[in-house]
Structure 1
Amino acid sequence: MLCMLETLLALTLKNEICAVLSRYNLHIENIRGQGYDGASNMRGEWNGLQALFLKDCPYAYYVHCMAHRLQLALVTASREVKDVHQFFDHLVNIINIVVGSSKRNDELQHAQAEQVENMIASNEIETGRGANQIVINTISEEGANYKQRGDAEGAYQVLTSFEFILILHLMKEIMGITNVLCQALQQQSQDLLNAMHLVSTTKSLIQKLRNDGWKPLLASVISFCEQHEIDIPDMNARYTKGRGRYRRQYDDLTMEHHFRIGIFTVAIDFQLQELKSRFCELTTELVILSSVLNPKDAFRLFKIVDICNLVKKYYPQDFTEHEQELLESQLRHYELDVIKHPDFQNISTISELCRGLKISRKSKIYFLIDRLIRLVLTLPVSTATTERAFSAMKLLKTRLRNRMEDELLADNMIVYIEKEIAGNFTIEMIMDEFYSMKNRRQA
């Protein structure tokens, strides 16, 4: 039944997309790239949306959004480790308690502001309870009803536990390493070669964290707990699992072994495993062959043979046999002309190369190469723009602003997503625009 529903959903999505293409006089047979998330109804090889399009257009190559793949790697790794999974559940609960109302949100901001003022005045980090602890503790004592007080008390116990602080610092370290890759994968102009390198360096840094990061992490957690008056367990004590009468004791396991092996090492191992499995598609032949057009480092990867193979294997419908022969001739001239030209030495992405060929009018001379570059640019190695739109929607329409109407939400999303354009407008320019609108209405 579930498979039938997914197939039906894929067919519905395809019909809607085809209707949009038809509206703008675009033809489905000209699709050369697809990019969706990893849901089975989207990327399914038999009945998924990408498979339905491939039946009509065999050259509409599908690539799973890399930014979404990284997110899935983090999510899956957290689910596989029970303690980390519970940490995120507790974290969501704490956030809901603190920011569940405007009053609590204001209390949190006020407490944080006071803490920053004290830090500036004393020139050191203030010891004692943090802003979140103050707010949650206040709710547990002064909540409007027993449920609020009970939830807050439970959240306070979790928030002030050593294990919660340890996992919090561990996740901060892991996400700090993956953040560079995450930001690179969300760029509108995607650099395939650098993305592949960043995946490799990210895995290396996480491996280094696994090998050498335990002692610095433990020292940082202990220091944090001492500053905020959080109980630190005896690391040499015997580890006891669970609470109450039926708790299990492990004579051969210490508390440090539980934290270091059971949480730290296992969480990192799952993270490395997920990164390897999620990003194995980056080494596919299509991506590697496409990288030979990259102008970075003075066209270091440029190879005529590889470019010709790229066309023959993946884009035969876009180049006739005669054009494939002519392409090789154009590439020889291109190698001596464009690659050696000073105006093309400082560009680093394929999109900049395409723009440079257009401005210099060399796109008319090397029209087959220009066509191939545009085809490669359509390869949707990242759908970061769409992902950012959904993220913006969550940031704008929060629990405290859940009655925002569609028109206002759309206007706010445009301003948020197009930050670079919106940054060019000043308050004076906006005021002048409204003033001129008033004059037009009077006229």
Structure 2
Amino acid sequence: MDEYPLSGLESHPRRFKAHWFKSFSWLEYSPEVDAAFCLPCYLFSRKSSPFTSGGFRNWKKLALVAAAKEVVDVHAFFLSLSNIINVVCSCKRNDELRSAYATEISHLVATNQIETGRGANQIGTLKRSGDTRWSSHFNSICSLLRMFGAITSVLEDLATNGSTYSQRGDATYALKSLLSFDFVFILHMMKEIMGITDKLCQALQQKSQDILNAMHLVSSTKSLIQQLRDSSWGALLEKVSSFCNDHAIQIPDMGASFSDIIRSRRKKDVVTVEHHYRVDIFTSVIDFQLKELNSRFSEQATELLILSTSLDPKDVFKLFSVCNICNLVKNFYSLDFSEQEKIQLDYELQHYELDVVKAPDF
């Protein structure tokens, strides 16, 4: 087919990609149901799975941005982030931002607060983020943190000297958001989370997939996210507090009672400020990330994909493994082989591993 049908959300429709056939030799596509199948599994396996029964048609990418936005405070953060970038990134203001950033760097170098060297302290611009691309959000957050002082200066100038009330009002609103503890806390938190998950998201977006590498990245990403949840709260809070002190941002009393409009109207139990940031935001966001990762890459699915790479003929069966193939049969296709066939398979694969290299067309 020249083009495959679109499906999914109207705002972000997805479709099957023809180049996947080159990446996955086992793949088969059914135009009748607009779904992908594992051809060998469909023909020979008696075990039901999306690749053998109804077909797989969830073309969405890993939805970590949407998962993070399940936490209301994070959703509000991304709205503020977008607004700040839009206010600052007009053509004229962008020039002012670069100038302010250059001035800030010169001051930091002069006072020995940062080191100089080749490639260091290059003058960049504030990155706009896309709606769904995780890396674009990560780039926006990193550039905003890097240029925070310069952005503050530009917004302060615009809030005071803007040519219209609209410019002054927009800049004032953006500045209040930028200099709030809420914004700074989530800014640092999302940088840590996105820094861990960015490599996986980029790997999954590549046209030519290295399944084994991607699955190892899934495992390491889950582990690092869990470590962040379990043992990094103190370090994060210390980093945020230090940043706030450097930029004259008020830090709330973590032991005080937390209250906002929603909590007070619903008469929820009284919690501390620290509980709000640690449990309601930090832990909740990470739990949504883990939930998304686990729903897309369960331990069973990850193991299946890793073991299946042993059948990949790429690079002269570089990943061929007798042990992995036997485990694949044992763990996922046990009903398709008799006990005697399982015993014989081990020896047959050992013969194959030695004999195949002697074939004339190998």
Name the TM-score class by shorter chain: 0.5 to 0.7
TM-score, L = length of structure 1: 0.54
For residue 139 of structure 1, the aligned residue among 155, 158, 164 is 158
Q: Distance in 1 between matches of 2:303 and 2:267?
A: 52
Q: Match for residue 229 of structure 2?
A: 210
Q: Note closer, same or farther for the CA distance 1:107–1:213 as it changes in structure 2 (3 Å cut).
A: same
Distance 1:121 1:277 in 2: 51
**In structure 2, C-alpha distance between the alignment counterparts of 1:93 and 1:333, rounded to whole Å:** 64
CA distance in 1, matches of 2:7, 2:201: 29
| Separation in 2, partners of 1:117, 1:109 | 12
Structural mapping, 1:309-320, within 5 Å: none
Cα distance in 1 for residues equivalent to 2:316 and 2:234? 40
Partner of 1:369: none
- When the two structures are superposed, what TM-score results if normalisation uses the length of structure 2? 0.65
Query: Partner residue of 1:122?
Result: 111
Is the Cα contact below 8 Å between 2:225 and 2:290 reproduced in 1? yes
* 1:238/1:253 contact within 8 Å kept: yes
What secondary structure is seen at the aligned counterpart in 1 of 2:258?
Answer: strand
After superposition, the Cα gap between the structure-2 partners of 1:247 and 1:106, relative to the gap in structure 1 and judged at 3 Å, is farther
Structure of greater Rg: 1
**1:33 counterpart (27, 50, 57):** 27
C-alpha change, 1:149 and 1:47, in structure 2 (3 Å) is farther
Aligned counterparts, 1:129-168, within 5 A: 130-168=149-187
Pairs aligned (count):
291
1:123 counterpart SS class = coil
Q: Which amino acid aligns with 1:241?
A: D
Shift of 1:184: 3.5
Is the 8 Å Cα contact of residues 28 and 38 (structure 2) preserved in structure 1?
A: no
Cα distance in 1 for residues equivalent to 2:288 and 2:349: 45
1: distance between equivalents of 2:183 and 2:297? 30
Q: Distance in 2 between matches of 1:154 and 1:288?
A: 50
Between Structure 1 and Structure 2, which shows a larger proportion of helix residues? Answer: 1
Of all paired residues, the percent bearing the same amino acid is: 47
Could you say which structure has the greater relative contact order, defined with CA pairs below 8 angstroms and 6 or more residues apart?
Answer: 1
What RMSD in Å do the two structures reach over aligned CA positions? 4.6
Contact 1:136 1:156 in 2 (8 A): yes
8 A contact 1:170–1:264 mirrored in 2:
yes
Give the residue type in structure 1 aligned to 2:111: S
Q: 1:333 to 1:47 in 2, by over 3 A?
A: closer
Residue aligning to 1:365: 361
| 1:302 Cα offset (Å) | 3.2
Q: Helix, strand or coil: the match of 2:151? A: helix
In 1, distance between residues paired with 2:109 and 2:210? Answer: 42
Question: Match of 2:270, SS?
Answer: strand
| 1:266 and 2:284 correspond | yes
Rounded Cα–Cα distance in structure 1 between residues aligned with 2:71 and 2:328: 47
In structure 1, the partner of 2:210 is 191
How far the C-alpha of 1:209 sits from its partner, in A, is: 1.0
Residue number among 50, 72, 78 corresponding to 1:88 in the alignment: 78
SS at match of 2:220: helix
Q: Which runs of 4+ in 1 moved over 4 A?
A: 45-48, 61-66, 186-189, 246-251, 294-300, 303-309, 328-334
Shift of 1:63: 6.5
Amino acid at match of 1:302: V
Q: Which amino acid aligns with 2:113?
A: E
Equivalent position of 1:302 in the other structure: 322
Determine which of 273, 276, 297 is the counterpart of 1:279: 297
Output one character per residue of 1:188-226: Cα deviation in whole Å (capped at 9) or x when no partner: 553322322221121111111111111111111010000
For 2:288 and 2:219, the matched residues in 1 are separated by 16
